């Protein structure tokens, strides 16, 4: 626990057999109270590895997609009574060693959400980020900041921490089940007035780390721009969109245990 708050790490997994244990071993268990893995119908032994490590594991019998898997993650965290939830990929692309500072920033009431930025510190390409992904990241981030009037260093990291209030407030269930889910969730967090902080986070790119193809990246980029435009229009009363509707479908609230 941190400052009396229960800390939960959730890991949305798909074919993470080779990297799961290394990721798990570096999770700071002195402050993390619960570790939950949701397996999105992996074709390898991810579930067996998770169970051998004693990780609470939820299994999808059919693949629900990256966003759909995260919806299961966050609901499981609320059900477990988490006050702070950190989403960590089990592919070891992001270091678990940053869980403590990220969770602390929320536990101390400094921020409502914290993201691990690969751009702060200029270490993205040093970790092996492909050049075209770096350029796309910078272009999308600069454009999105201009459209929604924010100043984040990036919107596309998969390393995030959220307070319970954020997870219970945003209409998360209205989001896509695909990769644009991450961007939609972050924009919702900002739209509903929550404070988002950033920490510099080195990231590794290697064969066993998850990655999406160029064509999927293009689809993601289009989705990011669409999300930003909807955000701007909703803020100006020029449109009504489910992902920014305060009455949109949310995660089920549970009693904080």
For residue 95, being part of any structural domain is answered with: yes
Residue 106: burial class (beta carbons within 10 Å; 0-12, 13-18, 19+) = buried
For residue 136, being part of any structural domain is answered with: yes
pLDDT of res. 209: 56
pLDDT by residue for the chain (257 residues), tens only, comes to 889 999 999 999 999 999 999 999 999 999 999 999 999 999 999 999 999 999 999 999 999 999 999 999 999 999 999 999 999 999 999 999 999 999 999 999 999 999 999 888 776 667 677 788 888 889 999 999 999 999 999 999 999 999 999 999 999 999 999 999 999 999 999 999 999 999 999 888 756 655 566 677 888 899 999 999 999 999 999 999 999 999 999 999 876 54
Tokens of 140: 């999308």
Task: State the Cα–Cα distance between residues 53 and 32, nearest whole angstrom.
Answer: 15
Task: State the Cα–Cα distance between residues 196 and 112, nearest whole angstrom.
Answer: 6
Residue with tokens 């990291």: 157
3-state helix, strand, coil in the chain (%, to 5): 40, 15, 45
Angle value at C-alpha 27, between 257 and 159, nearest 5 degrees: 85
Range of the domain at 204: 7-239
- Roughly how many angstroms between the first and final C-alpha of the chain, as a whole number? 13
Number of structural domains, the chain?
Answer: 1
pLDDT of res. 122: 72
For residue 251, being part of any structural domain is answered with: no
Cα 152 to Cα 2, 120, 167, 200, 236: the distances in Å are 26, 10, 20, 12, 21
For residue 246, being part of any structural domain is answered with: no
For residue 255, being part of any structural domain is answered with: no
Is the pTM above the cut of 0.75?
yes
| Residue 60: CATH number of its domain | 3.90.550.10
């Amino acid at each position: 626990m941190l400052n009396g708050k229960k800390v939960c790490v959730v890991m949305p997994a798909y074919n993470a057999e080779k990297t799961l244990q290394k990721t798990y071993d570096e999770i700071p268990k002195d402050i993390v109270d619960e570790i939950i893995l949701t397996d999105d119908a992996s074709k390898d032994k991810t579930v067996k590895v998770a169970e051998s490590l004693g990780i609470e594991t939820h299994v999808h019998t059919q693949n629900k997609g990256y966003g759909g898997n995260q919806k299961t993650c966050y609901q499981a965290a609320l059900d477990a009574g988490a006050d702070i939830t950190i989403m960590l990929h089990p592919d070891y692309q992001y270091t678990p060693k940053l869980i403590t500072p990220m969770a602390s920033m929320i536990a101390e009431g400094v921020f409502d959400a914290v993201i691990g930025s690969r751009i702060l510190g200029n270490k993205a390409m040093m970790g092996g980020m492909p050049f075209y992904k770096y350029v796309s990241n910078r272009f999308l981030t600069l454009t999105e900041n201009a459209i929604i009037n924010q100043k984040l260093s990036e919107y596309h990291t998969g390393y995030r921490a959220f307070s319970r209030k954020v997870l219970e407030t945003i209409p998360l269930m209205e989001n896509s089940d695909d990769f644009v889910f991450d961007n939609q969730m972050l924009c919702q967090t900002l739209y509903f007035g929550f404070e988002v902080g950033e920490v510099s986070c080195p990231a590794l790119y290697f064969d066993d780390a998850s990655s999406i193809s160029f064509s999927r990246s293009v689809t993601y980029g289009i989705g990011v721009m669409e999300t930003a435009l909807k955000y701007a229009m909703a803020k100006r009363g020029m449109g009504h969109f489910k992902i920014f509707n305060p009455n949109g479908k949310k995660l089920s609230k549970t009693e904080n245990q």
